[in-house]
């Protein structure tokens, strides 16, 4: 019988066999903590050693990326692709270019991705990749040379039926363009379905860039509706100012909420009148500048707080959309004290375990990333669908598909939580729903 003791033994084994990978240990622990009742109900999962297998990636690729900067100096980066689980479809997950990228971070993201992709209800497995390359301050030519060198190795491991990467932190439309160009050049194939997040003119999908942010806000709206509330008139704080954060803010404004603060790694801006998205987009997407410029240009009533915690700004709805472990226990306590109703993860694992515990004990609605931010990868799967049928859908139809998927994910998590006697526990709901979908497919395939 695979009881709590056996789950703890497995967790200890994962920690022992994967040393110095704290984010990966955290992600595995968070899932294992909720699975005891499932294993009790399905002893066949334990007999087939499904948990042990799901914690071990199917394939891990680590490679060197040499490139030449604008000064003619040779630079060397380390890159990764963890092809984690393909029980439900080809590996699918983003590429992250950031100095913090290491094997443990990529494995944590890939592990989360397995369950997130399963929750989307679409035929995609879980994977993740990236490099410890810092795109900040690099010219377009340097980014191009790096992407071309990166793809020269990666191309042999990917394909529309094998592994389909996308963007993540540091990898947007510009980078995907360079990556796709090099893949096409090397393989002599116009294989649109090999990368998602492409430009609209060359195989991209409408609503893809908006999808993660929009989806998280749809999820928040569904959660609030269970308590007879909505986003209308709520004060909202969104951390980050990248792709996810910008489109989360846009959808909050469309649904009648007011975003009063956002951030980047240099600090945060507070604008009680509501963040001006056009100005923010100009600074972040066109000029690629720091968030402090927002306060300089907007002036009236706007504050820039250098290096402060954005979670000290009171709000009813908090959307952490920056990076992992950005919202800790003291931030969670501040939010609870200021009367937060819902916390929805737009980023991957932005709340520490202690923060999550604080929210759950205080009765705050908490939407874990693997459910709340699944809209991005779901729309990537829709992009693959359009590529496979050589088709392109309208914005309205694409957005309706996204909204339906988010409503469905919320319903699945909600029903599973009730079924297991924990109504309102979206962490349990998301983990159990995603795990069972992957586990059933793995059982069907035998020991592979």
**Across the strands, what pairs with 305?**
268
For 122-138, b/e burial (b = at least 16 CB within 10 A) is bebbbbbbbbbbebeeb
Rounded Cα distance between 153 and 147, Å, is 10
Q: Are strands 342-344 and 317-320 parallel, antiparallel or unpaired?
A: parallel
Residue 128 φ/ψ, nearest 5 degrees: -165, 160
Backbone angles phi, psi at 335, to 5 degrees: -65, -45
Q: Are 340 and 367 in contact (CB under 8 A)?
A: no
Q: State how far the Cα of 104 lies from the Cα of 374, in Å rounded to an integer.
A: 21
**151 near 63, Cβ under 8 Å?**
no
Q: Choose the catalytic residue: 92, 116, 128, 184.
A: 128
Q: How far apart are CA 213 and CA 210, in angstroms?
A: 6
C-alpha 87/C-alpha 71 separation (Å) is: 46
Which residue is associated with the tokens 């709901």?
429
Catalytic residue flag (residue 251): no
Say if residue 141 is exposed, middle or buried (CB neighbours under 10 Å; 0-12, 13-18, 19+). Answer: exposed
Euclidean distance between CA atoms 108 and 73, whole angstroms: 33
3-state SS assignment for residue 435:
helix
Q: How far apart (Å, rounded) are the C-alpha atoms in residues 433 and 414?
A: 10
384, exposed or middle or buried, with CB in 10 Å at 0-12, 13-18, 19+?
buried
Q: Strands across the sheet with 91-97, in order?
A: 59-68, 74-85, 126-131, 91-97, 163-167
Q: Where are the alpha helices (DSSP H) in 226-309?
A: 243-254, 277-281, 292-298
- By residue count, the chain amounts to 448
As annotated, the active-site residues are 128
């Amino acid at each position: 019988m695979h009881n709590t003791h056996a789950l703890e033994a497995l967790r200890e084994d994962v920690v022992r066999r994967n040393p110095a990978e704290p984010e990966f240990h955290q992600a595995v622990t968070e899932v294992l903590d909720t699975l005891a009742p499932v294993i009790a109900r399905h002893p066949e999962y334990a007999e087939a050693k499904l948990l042990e297998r799901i914690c071990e990636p199917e394939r891990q690729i680590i490679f060197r990326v040499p490139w030449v900067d604008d000064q003619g100096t040779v630079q060397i980066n380390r890159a990764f692709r963890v092809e984690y689980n393909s029980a439900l479809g080809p590996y699918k997950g983003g590429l992250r270019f950031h100095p913090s990228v290491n094997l443990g971070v990529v494995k944590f993201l890939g592990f989360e991705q397995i369950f997130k992709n399963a929750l989307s209800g679409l035929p995609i497995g879980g994977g993740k990749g990236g490099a410890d390359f810092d795109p900040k301050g690099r010219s377009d030519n340097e980014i191009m040379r790096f992407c071309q060198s990166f793809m020269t190795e990666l191309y042999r491991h990917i394909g529309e039926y094998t592994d389909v990467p996308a963007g993540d932190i540091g990898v947007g439309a510009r980078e995907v363009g360079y990556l796709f160009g090099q893949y096409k050049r090397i393989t002599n194939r116009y294989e649109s379905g090999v990368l998602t997040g492409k430009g609209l003119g060359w195989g991209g999908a409408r609503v893809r860039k908006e999808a993660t942010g929009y989806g998280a806000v749809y999820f928040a709206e569904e959660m609030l509706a269970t308590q007879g509330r909505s986003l209308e008139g709520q004060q909202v704080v969104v951390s980050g100012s990248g792709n996810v954060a910008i489109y989360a803010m846009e959808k909050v404004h469309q649904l009648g909420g007011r975003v009063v603060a956002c951030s980047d790694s240099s600090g945060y801006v507070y604008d009680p009148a509501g963040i001006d998205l056009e100005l923010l987009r100009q600074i972040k997407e066109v000029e690629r500048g720091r968030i402090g410029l927002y306060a300089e240009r907007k002036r009236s009533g706007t504050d820039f707080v250098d290096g402060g915690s954005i979670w000290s700004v009171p709000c009813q709805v908090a959307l952490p959309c920056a990076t992992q472990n950005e919202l800790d226990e003291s931030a969670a306590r501040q939010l609870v004290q200021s009367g937060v109703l819902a916390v929805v993860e737009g980023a991957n694992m932005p709340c520490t375990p202690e923060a999550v515990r604080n929210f759950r004990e205080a009765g705050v609605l908490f939407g874990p990333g693997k459910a709340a931010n699944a809209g991005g990868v779901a729309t990537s799967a829709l992009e693959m669908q359009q590529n496979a049928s050589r088709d392109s859908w309208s914005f309205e139809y694409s957005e309706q598909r996204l909204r339906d998927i988010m409503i469905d994910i919320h319903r699945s998590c909600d029903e599973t939580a009730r079924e297991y006697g924990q109504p309102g526990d979206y962490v349990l709901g998301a983990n159990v729903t995603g795990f069972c979908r992957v586990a059933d497919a793995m059982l069907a395939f035998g020991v592979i």
